[in-house]
Amino acid sequence: MHDPVHMTEDMRLIRDQIRRFVTEEVMPNGEAWEAEGKVPREVLREMGKLGFLAMRHPEEHGGSNLGAMASLVLSEELGRSTFGGFSATVLVHTDMASPHLVRYGNDEQKAKYLPKICAGEIITAVAVTEPGAGSDVAGLSTRAVRKGDDYILNGAKTFITNGVHGDLFFVAARTDPDVKGSRGISIFIVEKGTPGFSVSRKLDKHGWRCSDTAELAFEDCRVPAANLLGEENKGFYAIMDNFQNERMVLSGMAVGEASKALEITLAYLKERKAFDATLWEKQAIRQRLSMLAAEVEAARQLAYHVAWLDEQGEDCVAEVSMLKAMSAEVANRTVYDCLQFHGGMGYMRESTIERMSRDARLLPIGGGATEVMLEEVAKRL
């Protein structure tokens, strides 16, 4: 397939470098990481040295100060690794958690944390989701009460990617209990090891097995007032602002996964024989694969258009929501059919496509469920 029209020569060079790293370092070792339930820290530090963790961050703190296109290229190539848990580990750090610091942190906070974040020495997580508040961010109930020079946090978070092995957490809490909904929410920088902050449980997931996911507990957790990120009671708007980037990179990941699933399946179909011919010679099969390829390509083109719109400073909430809904569903249809085309082998744990089918199932859920995305689109029709 041809590259999207917005793909520049610089982005091609970045893409090729990331793809080489994924091929040489991730794909041969990912199965071991799946068994361990985590991505080794030395791998993330190596990505930091190569500049992959800091493409969107300011140059003065070790970043490259690139735009949304760089995030999309990164997410698509990580998706092609076939290890959704690895992709999630990296993308939460680069595009879902640390951007809060870049956008809303003060000079002191940025100088303290960003260089190590860019280098992969500090791994970040964002703690918004609660047992009673997932896509409904305004419904969160974790409290933060100001006492002197500190805030005291109490509450629980769940489904937190990088929650077990992460170092720095951007935690959403309600600072004004007298207002309802989206008002009265703030974000705090909470370091691992802060008294009163603990990992209450490591979660056992259907897929994304090498991504560590946790429940977090805050019990009279004392956080310095200096760790308030941005304005008090304005955290909801910061969360919503970054959701657009989060949904774009999840879409890139979906496109990468679906593209790789098609490549793997096409190679299999051209070798596997049944009834005196290869499966690729069966018209019904190759036509179904061709339609999937068309849908994946449509999702890719929309993804790069969305990244371009973002870089132009355009309001693209509708397009991002369309993209997230479509790409997640396309990825799931693609891996479902690809597993079917593998027959019994596709159902075996030793099969790459089996793992990919489990990993892809989270895409219509995480970062805003498909149903929520479609409502966002409906509001703007």
37: left (phi over 0), alpha (psi -120 to 50) or beta: left
Give whole-number Cα distances, 50 to 17, 90, 248, in Å.
Answer: 9, 13, 23
Nearest to 172 by CA among 210, 216, 204, 119: 216
DSSP tag of 360: H
Q: What angle do CA 263, 268, 273 make, to 5 degrees?
A: 150
246 noted as active-site residue: yes
Tokens of 155: 């509450």
Return d(Cα 225, Cα 237) in angstroms, integer. Answer: 20
Catalytic residue among 76, 130, 246, 319: 246
Is there a contact between 146 and 173 (Cβ–Cβ < 8 Å)? no
Return d(Cα 329, Cα 4) in angstroms, integer. Answer: 21
H helices of the chain, where?
Answer: 9-21, 30-36, 41-49, 68-79, 84-91, 98-104, 107-119, 235-271, 283-311, 317-341, 352-360, 370-379
Burial classification of residue 330, based on how many CB atoms lie within 10 Å of its CB (0-12 exposed, 13-18 middle, 19 or more buried): buried
Is there a contact between 63 and 118 (Cβ–Cβ < 8 Å)? yes
Tokens of 226: 């200096």
Is there a contact between 290 and 304 (Cβ–Cβ < 8 Å)? no
Q: Which residues are catalytic?
A: 246
